Amino acid sequence: MNPTRLGTDAPNTWCPGCGNFSILNGIKTVFNELEEQQVCPPEGLVIVAGIGCHGKIADYLNVNSFYGIHGRTVPVAEGIKIARPDLKVVCFAGDGDAYGEGIEHLIFAAKRNVDITVIVHNNRSYSLTAFQTSPTSAVGFRGRSTPGGSFEKPLNPLEVMLASHATYLARGTSQGLPLLMRLFREGILHRGFALIDVLQVCVTYNNLYEYYGKKVYELKDHDPADPAAAHARIREWDYTSDAPIALGLFYRSEAPSFEEKFAPSRAGVPDRDAAIRRFLERSI
Ligand code: SF4
């Protein structure tokens, strides 16, 4: 399949230059590769999107999709994966969505190691609602909800996820498409809970292209199997300071997924799909 066939006719309403375009183009290419390499056809994919500018990605991708309500994308993705372990489930969420309203869901999905991939469009602002402070906004951020400047320290989501036993943790930026595609591919193929924090630039309200351009570097000589090393690298930058910003894979470990552990407990439970089929056959 050509990646363009994964697009739709829906008019794209993102602002020109928005970092969401990179995420959309990157995921289309990766979905296309998954089909070409016979890993997963488009009908074996389900995406879940939340509320925010990012959520429109569900309109622009021609695969099975579900719009969750604000902060509730992750439990929907978990439910789909547990009901249909054969599907690859990719969840798109914003920083307000995932790290604000939905943080408890994120923590428990990581703790359970449900085999879903969460891609966070982290523009560090509530942009759809026109510029309020989000959980990852920097100290001093002057949004509409903090006109005098935010005095709260931002959340370091990767640190929270590491403490919650996530088994794949990475960060990319919307300007770095080759790295982003590698992380998307790895996250989707990883067996267990994967989170990719994407520093997605919002050109309209929080244009950090130049700042990220000067600060980011790609992790090298880093052992992602070492949780202490991962913690140290994750703590280098606190989403406010002028420290260099590491990109790439911070942490990866192997552990049975929730579905694998859950499957034996389903033995003896009536086959619901077969029961529905029998019911429909009798009704026709
Ligand atoms: Fe992108 Fe920001 Fe425009 Fe939303 S407001 S579409 S995040 S540039």
Residue from 21, 205, 206 to probe ligand 1 pocket by mutation (most atoms less than 8 Å from CB): 205
pLDDT at 84: 93
Q: Which atom of ligand 1 is nearest to the CA of 19?
A: 1
pLDDT at 128: 92
Cβ neighbours around 118 below 10 Å, total: 29
Q: Which residues of the chain have pLDDT under 50?
A: none
User: Given ligand 1 and candidates 22, 23, 53, 54, which is best to mutate, with the most ligand atoms within 8 Å of its CB?
Assistant: 53
With beta carbons less than 8 A apart as the criterion, state whether 161 and 188 touch: no
pTM given for the model: 0.93
The pLDDT of residue 274 is 73
What pLDDT was estimated at residue 40? Answer: 95
Q: How far is the CA of 281 from the centre of ligand 1 (A)?
A: 49
Ligand 1 centre from 93 Cα, in Å?
A: 14
What is the C-alpha radius of gyration for the chain, rounded to an integer number of angstroms? 19
Spelled out in words, what is the top-level CATH class assigned to the domain 3-257? alpha beta
The residue nearest atom 4 of ligand 1, judged by CA position, is 53
pLDDT of residue 208: 96
- Can you give the pLDDT at residue 188? 98
At residue 276, the pLDDT reads 67
Q: Which pLDDT value is given to residue 158?
A: 98
> Residue 36's pLDDT is what?
95
According to the model, what pLDDT value does residue 282 have? 77
The distance from CA 130 to its chain's CA centroid, rounded to whole angstroms, is 22
| Ligand 1: residue whose CA is nearest its atom 1 | 18
**pLDDT at 279 (0 to 100):** 72
The H or E element containing residue 257 is: none
Sheet of strand 117-122, all strands in order from the earlier edge strand to the far edge? 64-67, 45-49, 88-94, 117-122, 194-199, 168-173, 245-252, 216-218
3-state helix/strand/coil string of 152-221: CCCCCHHHHHHHCCCCEEEEEECCCHHHHHHHHHHHHHCCCCEEEEEECCECCCECCHHHHHHHEEECCC
Which pLDDT tens digit goes with each residue over 202-216? 999 999 999 999 999
What is the predicted pLDDT for the residue at 117? 98
Pocket of ligand 1 (CB under 6 A): 14-15, 18, 20, 53, 123, 127, 202-205
